[in-house]
Structure 1
Amino acid sequence: MIGLIFQQIQQLRRRTPLGWLQLTHHKSRFLVALSGIAFADVLMFMQLGFQTALFDSNTRLHHSMEADIFLISPQARNLAYLSTFSRRRLLQAMDIPGVKSAEGMYLGFIDWKNPQTRKQTGILVIGINPDKPAFNLPEVNSQLNAIKMPDTMLFDSGSRGEYNKVFAQIEQGKPATTEIGRRTITINGLFKVGASFIADGTLITSDQNFLRVFPRQQPGAVNLALIQLQPGYDPKQVATALKSQLADKNDVKVLTKEEFIEFEKNYWQTNTAIGFIFSLGVTMGFLVGVIIVYQVLSTDVNAHMKEYATFKAMGYRNAYLLGVVFEEAIIMAVLGFLPGVTVSFGLYAMTRNATNLPVIMTLARAIQVQVLTIIMCMISGAIATRKVQSADPADMF
C-alpha cells in the first residue's frame, strides 16, 4: 500500500511542470516575484484607468448632446475653450437639405460660491434654448420650463466637492441660492452627468440667463452649434454639404458627433501634459515589471545553471531549456496578475468615491493588462535565458 502511494506521488511529480517545481523550490523568492508583478500590474491598471477616465469624463457632455453635427470655431481647443462664431451660420445651415434644426449653445467658466461651504470655486455654465432640448438627459428636459425663470439654473448632482446638503435640500423641493459674479442665482433642480478633468461641476440654464451671468458675451456669437437632421439622412453626407456651403467662411468648422468626440480626445491625448503622463505611466509600469521578472528569472537560472548544463549534457536542446524558463514566466504572469487585478478593483472604487471620475474596471482592460503581463514576463524570460543558451556542460563540472 505504501509503495503504491509512493508510486502515485512520483507519477504526480513527473506530471508537474518543471517550471513550477523550480519556482516553488524557493517559496519566499517566488512570493516576492509575484508581489513585484502584482505591483507592476497595479501601476498599469491605475494609469490605464486614469487615462480612460480622462477621455470618458471629458466627453460625457458630448455624448449627451442631442445633435448629429456640430459647428465650432477653428480656434477651438476643446469644450472648455471653444471661442465663438457668428449665429448667422445657424441660419445658413438650415438651408442644407436634411437639416431639421440648428441651435446655438453658450459655454463659459466662472467662479461661484459653493452654496454649502460658501467658498469660491470654478464652475462650467451652459446656456441653451429652453424651448428646444439640447441634451439627451430626461432630468434636464423635464425641467426646461424652470430655467426660463430669471437667474434659475440646474446643477449637476455628480459634481465634485462638498454639495451633499445642497443636493438633499433640492431633492426635498427647496431651491438653493448662491452667487455667481455679482448676481444671486437659484438652483431649482438637479441632473447628473458627472465631474471631469475640465470642470468640477456644471450648471445648465437658459441662453438669456447665461447672458445675464456673462454680460460680455455677445448674443450674436455662440460657442457651439447643435444641428439635428431629419430621419434618413446620413450625417457624413450632410456634413460634407455643410462644409461646401460654408467653405468661404473662415469662422466655423463642421464636425459629426463622432468627430466632435474624437476632437476632444485628441486634445487631451496630444496637446496636454496629462495625456502624455498617463501613457508614460503605463510604459513605466511595464518596464518595472520587466525588470522585476528578469531579476527573479535571472537569479533562478543562475541557481540552476548546473542542472541546465546537465540537461544539455544528456542531449536536451536549448529549445527545451528555453521552454522551461518561458513556462516559469507564464506561471508568474498568470499568478501575479490575480492579486494585481484584485487590488486594482479596490483602488478604482476608492478613486471613484474621492473624485467622481469614471474609473471603472472593464473586461477589455483586464484582458489588456493580462496580455501585457504575459508579454512582460516573456521578454524577461527571453533576456534571462541567454546564459542558458551559452552554457557549456564542460565548464560547469
Structure 2
Amino acid sequence: MTRFLARLLGRLPIGWLQLVHQRGRFAAALSGVAFANVLVFVQLGLMSSMGVSTLRPYQFFQGDILISAADANTLVDGGNVARQWMLQALADPDVVDGMGLFVAMVPWDRGETDISLTTFGIDPFRADFLAPEIAADIDVLQVRDAAILDRLARGLTQEEAAAIRLQTPLSFESQGRTLTAYDTFAGGGGFGGDGYLLVSDQTFLSLFPARSSGAPDHILLRLRPGAQPDAVAARLKELIADPTLRIRSYADAMDEEVRFQQTQRPTGVIFGFGVLIGVLVGIVIVFQVLSADVADHLREYATFKAMGYAQGFFLGVVVEEAVILGVLGFIPGVIAGWGILTLMAKVTTLPLFISFGMALTVFIGTVVFSALSGMIATRRLAAADPADLF
C-alpha cells in the first residue's frame, strides 16, 4: 500500500504512514466511517424503497390522464370524483375512453396476523386500462366476488400463492363477504398496506355498500395516439365545471405522489433526516480523528513550517488521510449496508436494495465530506506559530 501511494502521489505517503502508525486509532476511525456509511445506505435504501413502492400501484394501470379530488395526494386517500366529470372529459376530441377507479383498504384476518390489502375496484370489461399481466386474467373478475390477489403480499406464503389457480382458487372472508381469488399478480407490500387486491367495481361496491357507483375515487382517461397529455389536461381544466379537481397527466400524478410521500409524510421526512444524521456522524468522526492527529504531530508540522513548507503541503497531507479514511471506510460500509437491506427486504417484502447509482453517490459523498473534514482540521495548523511551539 505504501509503495502504491508513493507512486500515486509522487512523494512519501506521509498521511498513510501517520494513520497506520497508531493501528488502534486507525481501526476505530475506519469503523466510525463505515458506521456512518451504513446509516446513509439504510436511510437511502428506505427512501428509494418508498419511491418504488409508491409507484408500484400506478404500474397496474395504463392511462394518460388522472382526475382526482382536490385532497387526493395519493391513490389511496382523498375524496371521490363524480362520474359525470368523465362524461364531460369525453367531449374533448383527444379523449377516447375513461374508467372509474375505486380504492379502499380491505382487511384479511389470517388467524395469527391480520393483513390489510389495498383494493382496487375496476371495470372488468376495460382490459385496455390495465397492465398486460393483469389484463390477461381480467375475465375472472366478471364473476361475483371474484378477485385477483397479490402473490407477494405479506402474510401469504409462496406455497399458498403458487396454488391459486382457476381449478384451485383461494377463498377468504372480508367485510362480511366471501371473496375468491382465482389468479395472482406481482405487487408486494408497501408502507401503506401489506399487498394489493383487484376486484370488479360491482364486487367493490358490495364490499362497501355506502359507496356509490357514480362516485369513484379517481378517473382514468386514455387519449388518442399522438395527443399531448399536458395540453389535454390544461384544456380539461377549462372544460370541466368543477375547478377544484386535480387534473394532471398520469406521469405527473406519479411524480407528485412520490414527492409528497418523501417530503410531506412523516416517514419520508424521517428517512431524509436519517441521511443527514449519517453524513454529520461521518464528518464529526473524521474531523475528530484528523484533529487529534494534527495535535499529536503539531511540533513536527511546525518544524516543516519553519523550514519553509507552505500551508498547501500540510493541507495535502491531512486531506490524504481524510481520503484514505473515506475510501477504506466505504468498503465495509457498503458491504454491511447491503447485508442489512437484504435482510430487511426479506422480512418486510419491501424493495430494499443498493443500486449502482446509490453506491456511487455515497462513495463520492464520503470522499468529499472526508476531505472537507480534513480541510477544517488543518485550520489549527495554519494559525500555529513555530516560535510558540519550541
> 2:144 maps to which residue?
150
2:357 and 2:162 map into 1 onto residues whose CA distance is: 37
Please, which of 36, 58, 76 is the counterpart of residue 40 of structure 1? 36
Instruction: Tell me the TM-score normalised to structure 2 length.
Output: 0.94
Q: Matches of residues 284-295 of structure 1 in structure 2 within 5 Å?
A: 284-295=277-288
1:337 and 1:54 map into 2 onto residues whose CA distance is: 24
2:129 and 2:20 map into 1 onto residues whose CA distance is: 58
Please, which of 223, 248, 252 is the counterpart of residue 255 of structure 1? 248
Helix, strand or coil at the partner of 2:16: helix
Equivalent residues of 2:173, 2:179 under 8 A apart: yes
The answer to whether 1:264 aligns with 2:257 is yes
Shift of 1:125: 1.1
Helix, strand or coil at the partner of 2:127: coil
Equivalent residues of 2:101, 2:219 under 8 A apart: yes
Per the alignment, do residues 202 and 320 of structure 1 end up closer, same or farther by CA in structure 2, a change over 3 Å counting?
same
Please, which of 116, 129, 132 is the counterpart of residue 122 of structure 1? 116
> 2:272 maps to which residue?
279
Shift of 1:173: 4.1
1:345 and 1:385 map into 2 onto residues whose CA distance is: 34
The answer to whether 1:346 aligns with 2:342 is no
> 2:90 maps to which residue?
94
> 2:365 maps to which residue?
372
Cα deviations by residue, 1:295-321 (Å, 9 ceiling, x for unpaired): 110111111111100110110011111
1:124 and 1:63 map into 2 onto residues whose CA distance is: 14
The answer to whether 1:73 aligns with 2:69 is yes
Per the alignment, do residues 317 and 380 of structure 1 end up closer, same or farther by CA in structure 2, a change over 3 Å counting?
same
Per the alignment, do residues 395 and 175 of structure 1 end up closer, same or farther by CA in structure 2, a change over 3 Å counting?
same
> 2:126 maps to which residue?
132
Cα deviations by residue, 1:317-359 (Å, 9 ceiling, x for unpaired): 1111111111111111111111111111111211111111111
Q: Which runs of 5+ in 2 are unaligned?
A: none
Equivalent residues of 1:139, 1:190 under 8 A apart: no
Please, which of 177, 181, 184 is the counterpart of residue 178 of structure 2? 184
Equivalent residues of 2:54, 2:257 under 8 A apart: yes
Helix, strand or coil at the partner of 1:111: strand
1:342 and 1:270 map into 2 onto residues whose CA distance is: 28
The answer to whether 1:20 aligns with 2:16 is yes
Equivalent residues of 1:352, 1:359 under 8 A apart: yes
Aligned residues: 386
The answer to whether 1:56 aligns with 2:49 is no
1:380 and 1:84 map into 2 onto residues whose CA distance is: 53
1:387 and 1:310 map into 2 onto residues whose CA distance is: 15
Amino acid at match of 2:60: S
Amino acid at match of 1:104: G
Equivalent residues of 1:128, 1:134 under 8 A apart: no
Shift of 1:268: 1.4
Helix, strand or coil at the partner of 1:359: coil
2:229 and 2:10 map into 1 onto residues whose CA distance is: 64
Per the alignment, do residues 188 and 226 of structure 1 end up closer, same or farther by CA in structure 2, a change over 3 Å counting?
same
Per the alignment, do residues 135 and 307 of structure 1 end up closer, same or farther by CA in structure 2, a change over 3 Å counting?
farther
Shift of 1:119: 4.4
> 1:206 maps to which residue?
200
> 2:210 maps to which residue?
216
Amino acid at match of 2:43: Q
* Stretch moving more, 371-380 or 146-155: 371-380
> 1:304 maps to which residue?
297
Per the alignment, do residues 367 and 135 of structure 1 end up closer, same or farther by CA in structure 2, a change over 3 Å counting?
farther
Cα deviations by residue, 1:120-169 (Å, 9 ceiling, x for unpaired): 33221111111112655333111111111011101011212243342132
1:168 and 1:113 map into 2 onto residues whose CA distance is: 20
2:198 and 2:261 map into 1 onto residues whose CA distance is: 24
2:242 and 2:166 map into 1 onto residues whose CA distance is: 50
Equivalent residues of 1:62, 1:260 under 8 A apart: no
Cα deviations by residue, 1:213-263 (Å, 9 ceiling, x for unpaired): 1111111101011111111111111111111111x3145220112210122
Equivalent residues of 1:58, 1:198 under 8 A apart: no
Helix, strand or coil at the partner of 1:34: helix
1:172 and 1:334 map into 2 onto residues whose CA distance is: 55
Amino acid at match of 2:187: V
Instruction: Tell me the TM-score normalised to structure 1 length.
Output: 0.92
> 2:231 maps to which residue?
237
